Amino acid sequence: MRGFFLKTMLMLPALLILSRLALAGDTSAGDSAVPVYGYEVVAEYDHDPQAFTQGLCFDQGMLYEGTGLYGQSSLRRMTLDGKNLELRTLPGYLFGEGVTIFDDRVIQLTWKEHTGMVWDRRNLRFKHSFSYNGEGWGLTHDGRHLIMSDGSAELAFLDPTSFALRKKIMVLDHDMPVLKLNELEYIKGEIWANIWKESRIALINHESGRVTGWLDLSALVARAAAPGDVDSVLNGIAYDKELGRIFVTGKRWNRIYEIRIADEKKLPHQLQ
């Protein structure tokens, strides 16, 4: 689905060289394994099984969801039980991607169109668009910058007003770049990132880009993904800052799950 993987893979040897150079002198990087955490399901909520979820966030008691596919992309706002749905349909030539709330704005990316959209949070009225380089996948923010993924191993930090690029960081699991970074959420100083078509979430230090842990949701994916649908993958992380709740879902899943990290399940991580 993502057209630039070939280019990324061709660049991988150079990325590995650069990452190893960056780690020179950091003897602690390979001394301990990155932990893998389990999860507990706290609650379940209905989710539209036709929603091709590309972005998810939570604000003031409401879920905001961006969906994809040409001719089907949308921005949605709803309560956790799926009621009080408000929906804005994107033009058919746009493929909707990640969403986040910044102050009084809902900001939404598109995949290949180099176009972001800004909506008024109060009434979901479209305000204006903006441009960026490359593809748009996931979007979140740390209170100072918008943080954007493009399916590579890099995260871009953008000015939340001008949308100008401020910096990029490479996401590394030890010295290995983590490719296919997708939907994002900022949680307590870490960036949580879905890895496209994988059943795990990377927990990333938002300053260094280092993976501090993995959240293994493979059992949940096996339970929730639509049978026979290869695109029904884990994709959607939302965080309720006020109550500390974490929600996850996937493309064409019929449930949103409130989960809690199970600290007691802590296993050494090894790259496949």
Give the ranges where the chain is alpha helix by DSSP (H): 5-22, 218-224
User: With bands split at pLDDT 50, 70 and 90, how would you rate the model's confidence at 18?
Assistant: very low
Q: Which residues contact 161 (CB under 8 A, 6 or more apart)?
A: none
Average pLDDT over residues 213-235: 93
CA-based angle 39:43:48, to the nearest 5? 105
Architecture of domain 33-264: 6 Propeller (2.120)
Using CA atoms, how far apart are residues 46 and 22, in angstroms rounded to an integer?
45
196-212 pLDDT, tens digit per residue, is 999 999 999 999 999 99
Per-residue pLDDT at 6 exceeds 90:
no
User: With bands split at pLDDT 50, 70 and 90, how would you rate the model's confidence at 21?
Assistant: very low
Q: Do residues 108 and 64 lie in contact, with contact meaning Cβ atoms separated by under 8 Å?
A: no
Whole-prediction pTM value?
Answer: 0.84
